[in-house]
Amino acid sequence: MKISILAIDRRTTVFVVLALIFMMGVYSYVVLPRESAPEVVVPYITVATTYQGVAPADMESLVSVPIERKLTGLSGVKEITSTSLEGLSTIVIEFEADEDIDEALQRVRDRVDLAKPDIPEDADDPLVQEIDISEFPIMVMSLSGDVPPAQLTDIAEDIEDAIETIKGVLDVAVIGGVEREIQIEVDPSRVAAYGVPFADLIQIARLENANTPGGALDLGEAKYLVRTPGEFKTPDELNGLIVKRGQTGNVYLRDVATVSDTYKELDSVSRLDGRPSVTLTVSKRSGENIIEIATQVKAVLDSFRANLPPNINIALTWDESTWVRDMVSELENNILSGLILVLAVVFLFLGFTNAFFVALAIPVSMLITFSILNLGGTTLNMVVLFSLTLSLGMLVDNGIVVVENIYRHGHMEKSRVRAAKDGTAEVAWPVCASTLTTLAAFFPLFFWSGITGEFMFFLPYTVSLALAASLFVGLVVNPALMSLFMRTHPHRLRPNNQHHPVLETYGRFLRFVLRWRATTFLSAVAAMIVIVAAFVLRAKPPIFMPEIEPPQATINVTCPEGTDLDTSDAYVRQVEAILVPYGDNIEHVVANVGSQSGEFGQNVSGGSTTHLSSVTIDFPDLADCQRLPSLIVEEVREQLAQITGAKLRISKMEMGPSTGPPVNIEISGEDFNVLADLAKAVRQQIKDIPGLVDLRDDYNKGKPEVRVIVDRQQAWRAGLNTEFIGLAVKAAISGREAGDYREGDEEYDVVVRFPKSFREDLHNIEAMRLVNLAGQPIPFSTVARIEQGAGLGQITRIDRKRTVTVIGDVAKDKSSRALMTDVKAALADYRMPPGYSMSFTGEEEETQETMTFLRNAFIVAVFLIALVLVTQFNSVVQPIIILTSVVLSLAGVLLGLLIFNMPFGILMTGIGCISLAGVVVNNAIVLIDFINQLRARGLALNDAIVEAAMIRFRPVLLTAATTILGLVPMATGVSFDFRELQWSVGGETSQFWGSMAVAVIFGLSFASILTLVVVPTLYSMTESFRHFVTKKGHIS
């Protein structure tokens, strides 16, 4: 090959290029940002609209429906989901994966602008934004102590200010603290007695608290700015405001209200390990190095700890950087452990010098890969690091074939340069073909759509870069180095036509096999059938994602709609009591009363969510766990079932892309009462299925309501109207904002409202007086009445249809795939009424899409590999022989899963099978190509087969062994920690990637062994058959 000859003749250039690769690669590895997972662009856009105090049913009709109507018809939309809660409408638009999210965001904003005229004027403007996973919190810390909440909040805000100055920090949020508020508490009887309308109080407070610019004034030679400073310097200034001028004197604000500099009423409570706390969350900017940011944040926390009183504690309850650091370290250790194993095997077969040349492919290829990743803006994440581990053994395959062949030519009494040129030329095209087949296997994975495809994109990307780099090393670097430094060992030469005893034994066995070709082939087929049958009969049910030990678990506590904060807190304390006996196995317990995590990780909290709470369990590092977290989760789940009166669900933190609940049944229609009955019937139908836990639905009708029914005629006669009365009631209960009070660079709300004692008794509202615009007090009871009832707590619509979702989780001892099969069987005969439909989504939908894609990707990969082989051999028959290695490898995969008692992972094992398709054919390519060369030189069929198999025996075993040994640390979870100089057993990443590593190891082992027997046998059979057909054609 010309490039190899050029490299040999211009060796100095090669050495200079190697030096540049080393410098750039090391620099790139050092500066590459570390992250736990790839930065995935989620094709979701949210539209959130706040309309304080509005019931869910009204939010649906006034806000959600008008916006949905305008969004209908947007191109590229996959699904539109709206959720209407008290005072909040949230619409989530899911786009197809190939849509440009920035363009989609602009199109959504344009449509929402068109919907604004249809939305009530006093509703807040809709907030349109995309969901960016990279902006989710990377650190969560809790500040706790036996001190007043205000003191904790002040310290938390100081910490917030300090952390926000760190480069790369996007946002710091304080959750659970108290918030300062200037409250104007109105005395209802005094307001009525003085005839001061409530609206006047709000208007006066807002107008008097303002700085007004007056332009510029020229006086002589100078220009003066004119302004009217009117903002209050202190809250006490509000007391002196005149709210009404009368004949007997002025009415001041202090006459009808009390001004207080206080805090907002608590709508949430936080605790850390049972102590009151305030939580801070830290988010980083996209593409920034999480480890560097976390190090600086910890330094800030340490500086605050040094000055805090001993009764105040700062605990880091979640630090993603530690997980990333451990994961990077674990994968680095796996790579180094695999590298040592690879070096040991290569050294054993090829000697130190040649082993060095072969092993050079690993660091050079990786440094090239790091350089390209850095130039492309890719982060060093779990997928990239595993891809490097997967390709570790493959990187030396080309080098082994090239170096071993050059080494063999060196024993033919050729000069180093001639041996390098001849040896490389002899295997150059087979090496290119074998690399192309591997790349062809990964090529279809580039077209994987959806979030899972975005997540796994970096697997084929990184492997392709590394393999292309190894081809460069094999055809350019290795020949140049071998031509200069190769050492031959004449004393190791054997007499002509003699081989190593092992090879002689293999040659005799192969000649025996070639005499019993049909028996050999049928034996291989029988072995495959037995393995497949054993796997079908004894294997575990397939799963979508691997099960891992979770670093965290969350218990969501959902009380009936309308439950107050104290009652919710009582339920949370029961959950905390259940967790007390597990103290040695739990690092922290974080309780949040009045808030839960939403679908996309956002915090859902506020005055209307006092019935929602959560308890987060932080587990120690897996190596420090006395009991497995998954076992604790199952035990806690059983104890939570004993708590009645609230819905409690425990869920584990998962690694990898989000897939939704294992059981997610969407029931759609128009009438919510019918939907509720259908959801209840579906739950009854499936509730006894083994392995189904935490069964629930999202229908909630228990929201207590107080309805104000206005007598329109009476109100009109009294100088009032429905809107005026409604706003007055809203102001009395919820209060109305009357501007902001500024102090320094901080702003605080000024709120006008009635006293809490007044708001807690409906009779006070019925007895209050409304002041009309003429200043006349009108009894509330003469123009309106109060009714109590219940309304919908949440209204969900999917693609403009009201929907109730039945949700369930899977127990530890059962796979979600098997559970979903049982659920579908139980509902197979269930008939929906006309106009109503039922669909299975969530993990089931993602599983079906993934299975379909991986099946198609495997077929495409095989066809691409076959195309490369047909081009290489200019034959159809020989590529078919080589592709038998792919079939053999699948049997090996199933055998490995049986031995390790692992289920077939649809995602991980499926990708492993596709990877194998491109790897296992490499040995057969080199073997058949050399058989063809020997036959072209005049050797008989069987002699050429045996001689080629014996000569290629060593590189075949070496290439398979290096790939296998490179993955052994990942598959077993056993590696050596080169920083701590100790053995490391069982890591989180090996749990996630282990099944794929096992698939590749056993598939490649099984295929390699049979390749040395079955491929020569099939070659002999097809050539004999072709000779027979040709001979018969000549005779006829």
CATH 1.20.1640.10 segments of the chain: 1-31+351-487, 498-548+847-1036
Residue-wise pLDDT for 953-993, tens only, equals: 877 787 777 778 777 777 777 777 777 777 777 666 677 77
- Paired tokens of 936: 């072209």
Fold of 1-31+351-487: Multidrug efflux transporter AcrB transmembrane fold (1.20.1640)
Retrieve residue 418's tokens.
């001639």
Overall average pLDDT of the 929-949 stretch: 86
Residue 738 has what pLDDT? 82
Name the more confident of 272 and 352: 272
The per-residue pLDDT for 600 is 44
- Averaged over 49-68, what is the pLDDT? 87
Q: Where are the beta strands (DSSP E) in 176-321?
A: 180-186, 212-219, 222-228, 242-246, 249-252, 257-263, 269-272, 275-284, 312-319
Q: What percent of the chain stands above pLDDT 90?
A: 10
Q: What is the pLDDT of residue 605?
A: 46
CATH dotted code for 41-178+266-323:
3.30.70.1320
Confidence band for 28, pLDDT divided at 50, 70 and 90? very high
Mean of the pLDDT values across residues 401-419? Answer: 82
Among the ranges given (21-35, 698-712, 900-914), the one the predictor scored with the smallest mean pLDDT: 698-712
- 323-381 pLDDT tens trace: 778 777 776 776 677 677 767 777 776 677 777 777 788 888 889 999 999 998 888 88
Architecture per CATH, domain 498-548+847-1036, reads as: Up-down Bundle (1.20)
- The reported pTM is 0.73
Distance, in Å, from the CA atom of 372 to the CA atom of 377, rounded to the nearest integer, reads 9
Residue 491 has pLDDT above 50, yes or no: no
pLDDT of residue 703 exceeding 80: no
Mean pLDDT of 790-812: 84
Mean pLDDT score across all residues of the chain: 83
Whether residue 19 has pLDDT greater than 90: yes
What average pLDDT score do residues 513-524 get? 88
Q: How far is CA 720 from the centre of its chain?
A: 55
From 333-337, 429-433, 500-504, the region with the lowest mean pLDDT:
333-337
Determine the length of the chain: 1036
Q: What's residue 370's pLDDT?
A: 92
Q: Is the pLDDT of residue 1016 over 80?
A: yes
| Residues 6 or more apart in contact with residue 28 via CB below 8 angstroms | 367, 370, 371, 373, 374, 375
pLDDT at residue 1033 in the model:
61
Given a cut of 90, whether residue 875 has pLDDT beyond it is no
Ranges 80-84, 261-265, 495-499, 818-822, most confident:
80-84
Q: What integer is the mean pLDDT of 67-82? A: 89
Q: What pLDDT sits at residue 606?
A: 44
Bridge partners of residue 651, in order along the sequence: 554
Let me know: does 1028 contact 942? Beta carbons within 8 Å. no
- What residue spans in the chain does CATH classification 3.30.70.1320 cover? 41-178+266-323
Q: What are the tens digits of pLDDT across the range 591-633?
A: 888 887 654 444 444 446 788 889 999 888 777 788 888 889 8
| Residue range 194-232, pLDDT digits in tens | 888 777 888 888 888 888 887 888 877 788 888 888 888
For residue 20, what pLDDT is reported?
Answer: 94
User: Nearest to residue 297, comparing CAs of 150, 170, 178, 382?
Assistant: 170
The confidence score (pLDDT) of residue 147 equals: 83
Does the 180-263+703-791 domain belong in CATH 3.30.2090.10? yes
Report pLDDT for 493. Answer: 45
Contact 572, 594 (CB under 8 A): no
Structure tokens at 880: 């078919």
Phi, psi of 318, deg, nearest 5: -150, 125
Choose among 4, 78, 2: nearest CA to 43: 78
State the alpha helices, DSSP H only, in 473-615: 478-485, 501-515, 517-538, 565-579
pLDDT band at 574 (very low <50, low <70, confident <90, very high): very high
Contact (Cβ atoms closer than 8 angstroms) between residue 156 and residue 272: no
Confidence of residue 917 (pLDDT cuts 50, 70, 90): confident
Predicted local distance difference test score (pLDDT) of residue 576: 92
Provide mean pLDDT across the span 78-101.
Answer: 86
